[in-house]
Structure 1
Amino acid sequence: WPRLAPDEDSFRINLEVVGPAGGAKPQVLNPRLQGIDAAARPFQVTADFGARSDSVNGGEVYDLTHPKADIVLADGSWVALTANDGRFEAKTNTLHLAGDVNLFHDQGYEFVTTVAQVDLITSTASGDAPIIGQGPFGILDAEGFRIFDSGERVLFLGHARLTVLDGATSDQ
């Protein structure tokens, strides 16, 4: 576990610097960010490559290639996120994901969209691009989403459509 005692500013980045290719910014091979959220639950973000980018509001920013995030939720379940590209803003502990964003919940839910923003400290997420999903409940598509209360509440935006599968129960 990353830390035993909660620390609001707690995160750690492991770096292995790879030299620049063709005059590009230096890249980091397999960057890893580990931390804890506001409720002392661990999270981890990894990527194939990372590069320091221009700062945003005075904070460090890292561009990520093929980021992957693992987040533990309030009920002890976990969520895995993957995307083609990402950007981590250290000052706000925010992960911006783009391109084939996939969210998988360990209870069998999977959602796919093109953009998402994840606040790693509050365990909230949002996206304003179309989203499709499936799970034990059925199939869903909407024009965006908001995840609140560490995954306890999910709001689907715009014209949303849910097809409930035969045999789905209300606790799914």
Structure 2
Amino acid sequence: MTLPFPPRDTLAASTVTPIVAGPDRAAAARRAILPSRSRVQVSSGSIIRRRVAVRLAKLLLPVGALTLLAAIALWPEIDGAADRGRMAFRRATQATADAMRISGARFQGVDEQNRPYNLTATSAVQRDQTGMIDLAKPRADILLTNGAWMLLESQDGQYNRPDSLLDLQGNVTLWHDNGTTLKTEAAHIDVHAGEAESDVATAAQGPFGTLQSEGFKLRERGQVVFFTGRSHAVLEGRQ
């Protein structure tokens, strides 16, 4: 199949661009070559705003730098003043100026026969300069005659340190080395002499049996126990 072609004269005429000479040629070239982006027109208002921003930056930057340097130089004084304020607040919350609280307190000493004893408490607060100390959950370990020992504990207590006197309150329990256990609500202990007594209801249990009384007295460094007041005993053991 043969396709018709246009005449040679017609094809040549359609592809020939007329040549323009002189000033018209330069104008045509300028119209043909367009700029890549249009020029931004800057208004007088934007120029003024930019100048104001530059002046403010020149003014504020030195002021900010001076403020930062002053804060660094004065920070130790500020921090010290804050610490002094916190210390003053803590002192104001104390009940008394001479009160001193100790956690995990431990007191050690020797009795009149040079036997050691230990007294511990979860916390201790000294009332004043007299030596009276309030104890929380006190526990006393006292060595008795012939190497025996006695252990006491309670919920609260007061310890007269100069005189080695201990007053216990609340679920007072006394364990003796011979297997005897005494329970009462209050007891007075002379730690230095190794003696204890109570004038409130007491329950005792040991190798002898069980006993209930209105009080007790422990004498001769734990070798003798007197049960005072109305007492009721159930004795056990060999005849």
State the TM-score bracket (shorter-chain normalisation): 0.7 to 0.9
Q: State the partner residue of 1:80.
A: 151
Work out whether 1:64 is the aligned partner of 2:64. no
Q: State the partner residue of 2:87.
A: none
Q: 2:119 aligns with which of 38, 45, 67?
A: 45
State the 1:90 CA deviation. Answer: 1.5
State the 1:100 CA deviation. Answer: 0.3
Q: Which runs of 5 or more structure 2 residues have no equivalent in the other structure?
A: 1-89
Work out whether 1:27 is the aligned partner of 2:67. no
TM-score, normalised relative to structure 2 = 0.58
Q: State the partner residue of 2:233.
A: 162
Aligned partner of 2:106: which letter? R
State the 1:94 CA deviation. Answer: 0.2
Matched-pair identity in %: 33
Q: Identify the structure with the greater helix proportion.
A: 2
Considering Cα pairs closer than 8 Å and 6+ residues apart, tell me whether 1 or 2 has the greater RCO: 1
Large movers: runs of 4+ above 6 Å: none
Q: Secondary structure of the equivalent of 1:30?
A: strand
State the 1:83 CA deviation. Answer: 0.3
> CA separation in 1, counterparts of 2:139 and 2:95?
23
Q: Secondary structure of the equivalent of 1:75?
A: helix
Aligned partner of 1:141: which letter? Q
Q: State the partner residue of 2:50.
A: none
- Tell which structure's C-alpha radius of gyration is larger: 2
**Superposition RMSD in Å:** 1.9
Q: Is the 8 A contact 1:79 1:105 kept in 2?
A: yes
State the 1:66 CA deviation. Answer: 0.0
Aligned partner of 1:47: which letter? A
Q: State the partner residue of 1:144.
A: 215
Aligned partner of 1:96: which letter? D
Q: Identify the structure with the greater strand proportion.
A: 1
TM-score, normalised relative to structure 1 = 0.79
State the 1:107 CA deviation. Answer: 2.2
